[in-house]
Chains A and B, each alone.
Chain A
């Protein structure tokens, strides 16, 4: 398995509170991604990063922000959590996404519940 850890693995929080999820990799891969998984929707891209301090929005970015100050860490922040953000969040990494030999590896996930 690729060296990807996510923290926390489970979190319960209340509506309106800020939440930060962390993804940490030991593979030195350039690209990092945040997805959310919801029943009936598969996985949807929230934000991604193509280098330190280089980030861009994905398909469902509203209500989320990200930061990447080091190659190994990619943080996802919910500024003011809402119940619609209850989901399982997966981090993924990739070295060269346009290469046919590349693979996007996924972390173990963080289950977030917003009450």
Chain B
């Protein structure tokens, strides 16, 4: 069965700390990978996406993610977090030619202390 799992449910960091959120997927065939962010009280916004090509993907707000096929992983990173990065982060995947149906991970809540 297709699935996406996020290892950390709640991460607490101080400002300027580095961030890495784990995401692993189980998918047969071609997979497209995404990271979304949901700020408190807001809707989901796309941070970055991987379809093919360069496995290191850069997104908005200084975030990046690396697709490692051998590990079935797509971890999200940011070298220095800010208080405004406090939010919930979702990893998601879709299969090629499956109508964009997204399967989401459980989400990771990030709290950044000023």
Contacts and interface: CB of A to CB of B under 8 A. Distances in A.
Nearest to B30: A98
Given A42-B107, A100-B51, A107 B43 contact: yes
A82 interface: no
Tell me the dominant secondary structure on chain B's binding face. Answer: loop
Contact of B101 (A48, A105, A108, A109): A48
Interface in B59-114: 90, 92, 94, 96-107
A100 B57 CA distance: 12
Given A31-B100, A104-B100, A97 B94 contact: yes
Range of interface residues on B (Cβ < 8 Å): 20 to 34
A interface bracket (residues with beta carbon within 8 Å of B): 20 to 34
B102 A56 contact: no
25 contacts: A33-B100, A35-B102, A40-B106, A42-B4, A42-B6, A42-B104, A42-B105, A42-B106, A43-B102, A43-B104, A45-B102, A50-B99, A59-B103, A90-B43, A90-B44, A97-B98, A97-B100, A98-B97, A100-B49, A103-B46, A103-B49, A104-B34, A104-B46, A106-B43, A107-B43
Interface of A: 31, 33, 35, 40-45, 48, 50, 56, 58-59, 90, 92, 94, 97-98, 100, 102-109
